[in-house]
């Protein structure tokens, strides 16, 4: 291989690697955030749903709230302005941690699926997910874990 061809190949590989890294990072869950424990549950800023692009605003369908004191994360779906549903991400079949896919929570162990309200879409699970009351106060989403 000639030196010039080698240098071009290396540069192309570096550029491709940078592009691939950026692409993979955009696929990772940017919807995860660490909540703040409160006396009655967990809280996070409502603007965690906000997506700003140039002069437009849009919103994420959901965020996954974690905290080191929680055994399982909580998925919070945005249903409208100041309207949310919070679901424990623990499969009711055998207790595996669920994974969000758009409007569905899916169990990686046996394939159970739950809708954004926690109802079973497909089994083997038959019991709905545990849900929590959600309130919004001055731009803070509060999930009652009691």
Q: How many CB atoms lie within 10 A of CB 122?
A: 12
- d(CA 29, CA 141) in angstroms, rounded, equals 20
**Encoded tokens for 3:** 């030196």
pLDDT at 2 over 80: no
Q: What is this structure's pTM?
A: 0.75
Question: What length is written for the chain?
Answer: 146
Residue 1 exposure: Cα atoms within 13 Å on the Cβ side: 8
Query: How many percent of the chain have pLDDT more than 70?
Result: 80
133 φ, ψ (degrees, to nearest 5): -65, 140
Kindly indicate the confidence band of residue 25, based on its pLDDT and cuts at 50, 70 and 90: very low
Is the separation of the CB atoms in 75 and 105 below 8 Å? Answer: yes
pLDDT at 131 over 90: yes
- d(CA 50, CA 53) in angstroms, rounded, equals 10
For 36-74, write each residue's pLDDT tens digit.
888 889 999 988 888 888 888 888 899 999 888 888 999
Picking from 78, 81, 84, 96, the residue whose alpha carbon sits closest to that of residue 144 is: 84
The structure tokens 């080698």 sit at 6
């Amino acid at each position: 291989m000639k030196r010039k061809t080698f240098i071009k190949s290396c540069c192309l590989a570096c550029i491709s690697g940078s592009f691939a890294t950026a692409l993979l990072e955009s696929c990772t869950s940017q919807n995860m955030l660490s909540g703040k424990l409160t006396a009655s549950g967990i809280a996070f800023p409502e603007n965690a749903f906000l997506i700003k692009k140039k002069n437009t605003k849009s919103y994420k369908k959901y965020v996954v709230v974690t905290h080191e004191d929680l055994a399982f994360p909580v998925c919070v779906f945005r249903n409208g302005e100041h309207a949310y549903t919070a679901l424990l991400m623990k499969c009711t079949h055998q207790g595996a941690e669920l994974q969000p896919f758009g409007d569905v929570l899916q169990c990686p162990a046996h394939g159970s699926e739950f809708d954004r309200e926690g109802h079973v879409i497909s089994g083997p699970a038959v019991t709905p997910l545990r849900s929590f009351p959600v309130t919004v106060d001055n731009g803070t989403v509060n999930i009652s874990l009691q």
